Amino acid sequence: MDDDVEVPGDVAAARERHDELVPVLRDARYRYYVLSDPAMADAEFDVRWRELLALEEAHPSLATATSPTAEVGAPVDSAFPPHRHLEPMLSLDNVFSREDLQAWQERAASGLATGREGDDLAPTWVCELKIDGVAISLTYVDGVLATAATRGDGTTGETVTQQVLTMDDVPYRLDAGSDGGDPPALVEVRGEIYYPVEAFEAMNAARVGAGEQVFANPRNAASGALRQKDPSVTATRPLSLWIHGIGALQLAGDAPDVDDPDAVVDTPDPTEEAVGTTDFATHSAFLDWCGRVGLPVAGETLVTDDTDEVWDFVDHWTSHRHDPTYEIDGVVVKVDDLAQRQVLGTTSRAPRWAIAYKMPPIEATTLLRDIEINTGRTGRVTPFAVVEPVTVSGVTITYATLHNEIQVHAKDVRIGDTVSVRRAGDVIPEVVGPVLSERPDGAETWHMPADCPSCGTPLVRPEGEGHHFCENVDCPNRILESLSHFGGRKALDIEGLGYKTAKLLLDEGLVADLADVFALDARRDDLVALEGWKEKSVDNLLAGIEAAKAQPLDRLLVGLNIRHLGPTVAKLLAGAFGDMAALATADAEAMSAIDGIGPVIGEAVAAFFAVDRNRALVDKMRDLGVDMAADEPAATADVLVDMSIVVTGTLEGFSRTEAKEAIESRGGKATSSVSGRTTAVVVGDSPGSKADKARDLDVPILDEAAFTHLLDTGELP
């Protein structure tokens, strides 16, 4: 099955390797499924798992009933009451290449071929994103949620009904919807509970700030939130759900007792006519039904007969894997027709009618060579890992953040460890944790150095803070980081003033503080004389600086490197105070009275302006011609008030987050489900069932051009 796995031909040697792998994989699965605290990166698990499969394929005597390959998930050993699934919750087999995916599709198609002329059994495929969450089974009896259970070992899971009922996405009662018909007597719907990426990042950032241990990834955060004994704790977490499958189904009659392990379900024959309007003959019809009865279904789904389109879907989402609001790790391709699924059947572990294409991992393991620290623009000191370079989804990682000393200790990473590093989207790669089984003897716990490596000032860790700080405002590294941030995209956006130029300007003594940047036009000759600089690049830089003088106040504020002050807060402050002078003389209470600004931010900003040299710095900028006023609110500011807009599929000019921001900054609501109250649905590439729902409900459908027009004018076409 795998060309890159080496399998010994000798059965004794194979058994020896098998014996080595089994406990490691068992432990990894226990930690992953039961403790929500994985011991190794998913990709590393996959490599070892594939090796185990290859060993068993070459030497079938190793594939005993007690091998982990015969199990699904992990055995249940839990504080939650057991729940026996009426239909087993299977796992999926994986493929990692186009060839293997197509080989699977061919196998499935030939499994359906009857050889009889005229039979057209070529399958229709449903392609879905593979959500990296926690599998859940919801059993509805007569349309009311009876139990929610995790997968467990595939046969028996853990009952988490009360926890799941705290989730907004989970209907307690199915909506008869536009069907108007009765719900099935019993249905097990299967899906994935996930922690939305944005909320996950915000939560981890808050945990770092509070000196608490961070979650390794959104999946673990979801699993941790779901497995809270006290459901009111789960209720505080923004868990979401996508439904992607069906288990047991009984359309009518008396539902069996869901708590009876021997319950018999009167399963309908998928080849027979549908009962009423509830059509479960195909998976896509099932997904539509979910949408109608209020069960959430991910929009990013494609139904097609065309093998090339299946690959295009995989390819598209592999390069847009960070666009969805939830984390994905692959694409699941399924046979649509349920009768065809019955023909193909399942193995003990996984169905033959579905396959998971796994995307290249965003985590990898590598050697932790050293831990160094960097003093940032606000004086905050961040430890970072220097690792043996490793490629993760096309980018070479050499450095990865470790946040602060508490995190280094909480994760127990030590120099010399093999560590797993993770790169999600554009965020800085981070160290997830060590592979403990590979720790070298004598590896020691790391401690924060006593002094700033840049200026030698003793580092301090304020009471109640997770971070250490260098409090020297003249710390050379602090100034360098401040200056490169000053010219950065979120601040004054000065083309040509990046880290390298900032360093050069400081090293050459052409600037000593941020305000000096605005006096550089008087140093044109010195700039041109710098090694490697041409007149044109100098003039471009000076033109960029000149333009930056007119940037709105919020950008200037972001550029000042005040703790806790990011673009959103800066906009609020600039909008409320109107100009720099009013803000500089305001007290912390006046700032935190503004909606969206808390006392911590208010105090940080007031503390900044209480320092004489900071006020002098701002005055110097003003004297050098920097505009200190907030922008007039744009005419488009509130064109979308009272509008509720859904975006589905991929847009060319906007990521999901950008589209959401564009809607919200104009006073509109960006929502994820389509209802009769939706103002419009914006449809991009590979849209999902939301577009169909919009059509059903007569909600206006906009393409990207119409969306841009709407953003500019507030008008629907």
Residue pair 149/212 in contact (Cβ under 8 Å)? The answer is no
Residue pair 390/364 in contact (Cβ under 8 Å)? The answer is yes
C-alpha dihedral over 448, 449, 450, 452, to 10 degrees?
Answer: -110
Cα 464 to Cα 476: distance, rounded to the nearest angstrom: 27
Encoded tokens for 163? 């926890």
Cβ closer to ligand IVH: 192 or 405?
192
Question: Least CB distance from residue 127 to ligand IVH, whole Å?
Answer: 9
For position 90 contacting ligand IVH by CB under 6 A, the verdict is yes
Cβ closer to ligand IVH: 126 or 586?
126
Backbone angles phi, psi at 6, to 5 degrees: -95, 125
DSSP codes of every residue in 250-318: E-SSPPPPTT-TT----PPPTTSPPBTTB--SBHHHHHHHHHHHT----S-EEEES-HHHHHHHHHHHH
Footprint on residues 512-571 left by ligand IVH (CB under 6 A): none
Question: Near ligand IVH by CB under 6 A, which window of 13-21, 88-96, 511-519, 570-578?
Answer: 88-96
Footprint on residues 280-309 left by ligand IVH (CB under 6 A): none
List the one residue from 39, 135, 189, 293 that touches ligand IVH (CB under 6 A). 135
Question: Near ligand IVH by CB under 6 A, which window of 123-131, 278-286, 378-386, 612-620?
Answer: 123-131
Question: Least CB distance from residue 304 to ligand IVH, whole Å?
Answer: 16
Cβ closer to ligand IVH: 46 or 198?
46
Indicate which residue of 130, 358, 571, 693 is catalytic.
130
Cβ closer to ligand IVH: 92 or 591?
92
Question: Least CB distance from residue 63 to ligand IVH, whole Å?
Answer: 20
- Number of residues that this document lists for the chain: 717
Question: Least CB distance from residue 136 to ligand IVH, whole Å?
Answer: 8
Question: Least CB distance from residue 285 to ligand IVH, whole Å?
Answer: 16
Least Cα distance to 323 among 288, 303, 298, 306 occurs for 298
Cβ closer to ligand IVH: 88 or 466?
88
For position 91 contacting ligand IVH by CB under 6 A, the verdict is yes
For position 219 contacting ligand IVH by CB under 6 A, the verdict is no
User: How do strand 669-671 and strand 644-648 relate by DSSP bridges?
Assistant: parallel
* AA identity, residue 483: L
Encoded tokens for 435? 């592979």
For position 630 contacting ligand IVH by CB under 6 A, the verdict is no
Question: Near ligand IVH by CB under 6 A, which window of 127-135, 203-211, 362-370, 511-519?
Answer: 127-135
Question: Least CB distance from residue 290 to ligand IVH, whole Å?
Answer: 12
Question: Near ligand IVH by CB under 6 A, which window of 10-18, 124-132, 307-315, 402-410?
Answer: 124-132
Question: Near ligand IVH by CB under 6 A, which window of 42-50, 129-137, 138-146, 567-575?
Answer: 129-137
Q: What DSSP element (H or E) covers 98?
A: helix 98-112
Cβ closer to ligand IVH: 169 or 417?
169
Footprint on residues 354-383 left by ligand IVH (CB under 6 A): 354, 356
Size of the site for ligand IVH (CB under 6 A): 14
Degrees, nearest 5: CA angle 527-530-533: 85
DSSP codes of every residue in 201-246: HHHHHHHHHTTPPPPSSHHHHHHHHHT-SSHHHHTTS--EEEEEEE
Cβ closer to ligand IVH: 131 or 588?
131
Question: Least CB distance from residue 46 to ligand IVH, whole Å?
Answer: 10
Cβ closer to ligand IVH: 97 or 236?
97
Question: Near ligand IVH by CB under 6 A, which window of 28-36, 84-92, 287-295, 692-700?
Answer: 84-92
DSSP codes of every residue in 456-470: -PBPB--TT-SSEE-
For position 128 contacting ligand IVH by CB under 6 A, the verdict is yes
* HEC sequence for 525-575: HHHHCCCCCCHHHHHHHHHHHHHHCCCCHHHHHHHCCCCCCCHHHHHHHHH
Cα 667 to Cα 670: distance, rounded to the nearest angstrom: 10
Question: Near ligand IVH by CB under 6 A, which window of 89-97, 256-264, 436-444, 570-578?
Answer: 89-97
Q: Cβ-count burial of 589 within 10 angstroms (0-12 exposed, 13-18 middle, 19+ buried)?
A: exposed
List the one residue from 51, 56, 153, 192 that touches ligand IVH (CB under 6 A). 192
Cβ closer to ligand IVH: 242 or 609?
242
Active site (annotated) includes residue 130: yes
Footprint on residues 313-352 left by ligand IVH (CB under 6 A): 332, 351
Cβ closer to ligand IVH: 225 or 606?
225
Q: What residues does 371 pair with on adjacent strands?
A: 385
The residue whose Cβ lies closest to ligand IVH is 135
Question: Least CB distance from residue 706 to ligand IVH, whole Å?
Answer: 30
Question: Least CB distance from residue 264 to ligand IVH, whole Å?
Answer: 21
Cα 372 to Cα 383: distance, rounded to the nearest angstrom: 6
For position 247 contacting ligand IVH by CB under 6 A, the verdict is no
Residue pair 285/279 in contact (Cβ under 8 Å)? The answer is yes
3-state secondary structure of 497: coil
Question: Least CB distance from residue 98 to ligand IVH, whole Å?
Answer: 19
Cβ closer to ligand IVH: 131 or 511?
131
Question: Least CB distance from residue 151 to ligand IVH, whole Å?
Answer: 7
3-state secondary structure of 580: helix
Cβ closer to ligand IVH: 49 or 469?
49
> Residues near 661 by Cβ (< 8 Å), separated by ≥ 6?
none
Question: Least CB distance from residue 112 to ligand IVH, whole Å?
Answer: 18
Question: Near ligand IVH by CB under 6 A, which window of 41-49, 128-136, 544-552, 596-604?
Answer: 128-136
List the one residue from 25, 62, 127, 131 that touches ligand IVH (CB under 6 A). 131
Question: Least CB distance from residue 133 to ligand IVH, whole Å?
Answer: 7
Backbone angles phi, psi at 539, to 5 degrees: -65, -35
Residue pair 497/484 in contact (Cβ under 8 Å)? The answer is yes
Cα 637 to Cα 714: distance, rounded to the nearest angstrom: 10
Question: Near ligand IVH by CB under 6 A, which window of 130-138, 396-404, 560-568, 697-705?
Answer: 130-138
Cα 355 to Cα 97: distance, rounded to the nearest angstrom: 12
For position 130 contacting ligand IVH by CB under 6 A, the verdict is yes
List the one residue from 244, 403, 468, 693 that touches ligand IVH (CB under 6 A). 244
Q: What is the CA radius of gyration of the chain?
A: 29
User: How do strand 94-95 and strand 301-304 relate by DSSP bridges?
Assistant: unpaired
List the one residue from 53, 55, 74, 92 that touches ligand IVH (CB under 6 A). 92
- Report the Cα 73 to chain-centroid distance in Å: 23
Cβ closer to ligand IVH: 241 or 492?
241
Contacts 24+ apart (CB under 8 A), 267-275: 270/337, 270/338, 270/339, 270/341, 270/342, 271/339, 275/251
Binding site for ligand IVH (CB under 6 A): 90-92, 128, 130-131, 135, 192, 244-245, 332, 351, 354, 356
List the catalytic residues.
130
